[in-house]
Amino acid sequence: MDLKKIKYIASKTLRKNLDDLTALASGGYPGFVYRKLTLPGADQIPVFTFHRLEPVSFEAQLKHLAQNHYKTLSGDEFLSCLTGVKRLPPKAVLLTFDDCWGSLWAVAHPLLKKYGLQGVAFAISDAMEQGDGVGATLEDVWAGTRSMDEILGREVKAPLCNWAEIKRMSRAGTLEFQSHSRMHHSVYIDSEVVDFVNPDRYPSFMFSDFNPLINLGANEVAEWDLDARCYGEPIYPFRASFAARRRFIPNHQVSAACRAYVTERGGKHFFQSADWRKELMRVYTNIAEQESEKGTIVSYHQRLEELVQDLTMSKRIIEQNLENKVDQICLPWYQGDAIAVEAAKLADYRACHWGILNNTTVNTVGDDPFYVRRMNDEYLFALPGEGRQSLLQILAKKYLNIVKKRTGMY
């Protein structure tokens, strides 16, 4: 590998993990992350966040919890302990799982059941398909009826869990399901075009924070309902929906005309031209000049109503499918603003889960439940007990794995 590529990988990795490294450097992690302790901090509740699960590493994490007698809390137990309603048990932790990736069913569910542990999963309510059945799990591998390759390839075939799988996990008690919003989307916040949807910049919450709602005729839809028809859609400055106090809604006629221009010229093939951006910008400018306005700005109060509706509908959809009460929201991409907390309270939620907040990941009994801090799952190995790993070991393993994945060494 050449030096230029190594520098690029290092730079991208640093940007992605800057909040984490800043919090570590400022002492924002619990004491057990930095030094060997007998127990986690008094009155502290470590909250770990997972996304996609890999069988070997996830089982090692659960073994560390089980062998050292940690108690995994339910969502309700966590809130009761955080607010002081119930006494915090020794060695209590909360495991949270964002997005409901397919590996939640295939990997997490059977392993949580195996070790007698539990967690809280945050579902994107409008992204979950009903499903005719359930996919294979590690239990099928253990029984010799399915291959490990099928488990490892689950998210290629079906990235997210379906409702049939979610219902089974909920009934089994391994996972409690709360809200991750309806569509995990971003919104435009200004009217100046910065780019156009193209094969190299496609909306998807799975790979970036660019996932706007795009109006293809009837209603605004999110990325899992989109296809090549959205090529040529103008892109404006955007922000995670729950972090945006205002919203710009583009003129539908302008957007439709730009998409039609690309479709008429071969769709994906249009972007093979070196000057396609200049050409499309000229088209956009000409069309926009013919229209009375580029779009409309949604005010703070309208945005608040939108967010309350989002949270209310997400709650309703999950509760209609499952038997548990939904009163906690995990903010998409960990991004939010005071408007998100206000909306959550108006929608009768009791907690908001974030990532790192104010350079800290520590949750202490008595803290505000609308500002729950969470740390990445690799720090679970720093929990006190037999087999604990030092911070140096954790970071070395983490960044070595990142380099291997991005350089194709796996």
Q: What is the pLDDT of residues 94-145, one digit of tens each?
A: 999 999 999 999 999 999 999 999 999 999 999 888 887 999 999 999 999 9
Question: Could you state, in order of their start, the residue ranges of all structural domains in the chain?
Answer: 3-183+306-407, 193-235+252-292
The encoded tokens of residue 217 equal: 């005729």
CA torsion through residues 387, 388, 392, 396, sign? positive
Res 224: pLDDT: 47
Res 12: pLDDT: 57
What DSSP string runs through 95-125? EEEETTBHHIIIIIHHHHHHHT--EEEEE-G
The pLDDT tens digits for 302-328 are 999 999 999 999 999 999 999 889 999
CA distance 147 to 154: 11
Compute the average pLDDT of residues 209-230.
Answer: 64
CB 78 within 8 A of CB 64: no
The pLDDT tens digits for 53-92 are 999 999 999 999 999 999 999 999 999 999 999 999 999 9
Exposure on the CB side of residue 57, measured as CA atoms within 13 A:
16
Q: H or E stretch including 302?
A: helix 300-321
* CATH of range 3-183+306-407; options 3.20.20.370, 3.40.50.2300, 1.10.645.10, 3.40.50.2000: 3.20.20.370
CA distance 49 to 178: 14
Q: Amino acid identity, residue 250? A: P
More confident residue, 375 or 231: 375
Compute the average pLDDT of residues 24-35.
Answer: 96
Indicate the average pLDDT of the chain.
91
CA distance 152 to 155: 8
CB 86 within 8 A of CB 189: no
Res 208: pLDDT: 75
Compute the average pLDDT of residues 342-359.
Answer: 98
Q: Is the pLDDT of residue 348 over 50?
A: yes
Separation in Å, CA 206 to CA 24, 194, 224, 241, 337: 26, 21, 10, 15, 22
CB 128 within 8 A of CB 100: yes
Share of the chain above pLDDT 90, in %: 77
Res 324: pLDDT: 85
Res 3: pLDDT: 63
Compute the average pLDDT of residues 331-354.
Answer: 97
The encoded tokens of residue 55 equal: 């069988």
Which range, of 173-182, 197-206, 219-228, 288-297, averages the lowest pLDDT? 219-228
CB 321 within 8 A of CB 167: yes
Confidence of residue 408 (pLDDT cuts 50, 70, 90): low
CB 100 within 8 A of CB 123: yes
CA distance 246 to 188: 9
CA torsion through residues 100, 397, 409, 15, sign? positive
Compute the average pLDDT of residues 165-186.
Answer: 96
